[in-house]
Amino acid sequence: SELFGHVKGAFTDARIDRAGKIEAADKGTLFLDEIGNLSYVLQAKLLNALQSRHVTRVGSNEPVPVDIRLICATNHNLFEDVEKGLFREDLLYRINTIQIEVPALRNRKEDIPELASFFLHRLAGKYHKKEATLSREAIAKMQEYAWPGNVRELEHTIEKALILSDNAVIEPSDLFLRPHEEKTNGSAPVTLDEMERTLIERAIRHHDNNLSAIAKELGISRPTLYSKIKKYGL
């Protein structure tokens, strides 16, 4: 229902009518990231919406007119996905009006400092580290790295550094970067559980065991916080 919306009572948690992303973008632009991951069923519904210029909310039979400009992104080769039966050919030709290929991050390393700075400033407040900065050495290290995961990996790396570093200035050692071909060597990469445990530990210290304040900072409920404290033995 995220794309197409739903009406009250359409399913268990549908307590109110809600417009979907397509309807909300009426008279504007809708960006769909990783369109290649859409299920075949959703591909058919999207194609119908684009052709008819109407959407029908889940649980309703009433079509709602929409007029949108659609921008899609994918890291798939959709033409190959069509050959494999993973993506609808008719939808591909419907959305493939103008194609822009964005080079891999490793091929535009001059963009890395600006992108890293953008992610740092966007995420620093979330972890109460608004004074955090990147050292020149850290930026140079990032520009040497191959970034197999492209921009998403860069964002994750900055967030991980903010969580795990106790320093105001993020250094190369805080980035936990390794050459892609050497991932099996040296110490094991930091897991999501380890990152989460570290984040909770810091929140506990910051709020002196005030569980309500800790839960609010982490954006989770108290019961969820209790279960995570028990899980990590904190």
Q: What is the mean pLDDT of residues 123-146?
A: 92
- CATH, residue 145: 1.10.8.60
Assigned domain for 221 exists: yes
pLDDT at 88: 96
3 in a structural domain: no
pTM: 0.62
Lowest average pLDDT, out of 7-21, 116-130, 191-205, 212-226, goes to: 191-205
Q: Where are the alpha helices (DSSP H) in the chain?
A: 21-24, 40-52, 78-83, 89-95, 112-124, 136-144, 150-164, 192-206, 211-218, 222-232
Predicted pLDDT at 57:
92
211: domain CATH number is 1.10.10.60
Residue 72 in this model has a pLDDT that exceeds 70:
yes
Is 61 a residue whose pLDDT tops 70?
Answer: yes
CB of 91 closer than 8 Å to CB of 43: yes
- Mean pLDDT (the chain) is 87
Mark whether 183 and 140 lie in a shared domain: yes
Expressed in angstroms, the distance from the first to the final Cα of the chain is 38
- Has residue 43 been placed in a domain? yes
Say if residue 90 is in the same domain as residue 161. Answer: no
Boundary residue ending a domain (66, 95, 124)? 95
Contact 17, 8 (CB under 8 A): yes
Q: Do residues 229 and 185 share a domain?
A: no
Of residues 229 and 73, more confidence is placed in: 73
Structural domain boundaries, residue 171: 108-189
Residue 182 and residue 115 share a domain? yes
Higher pLDDT, 191 or 225: 225
For the chain, the domain total comes to 3
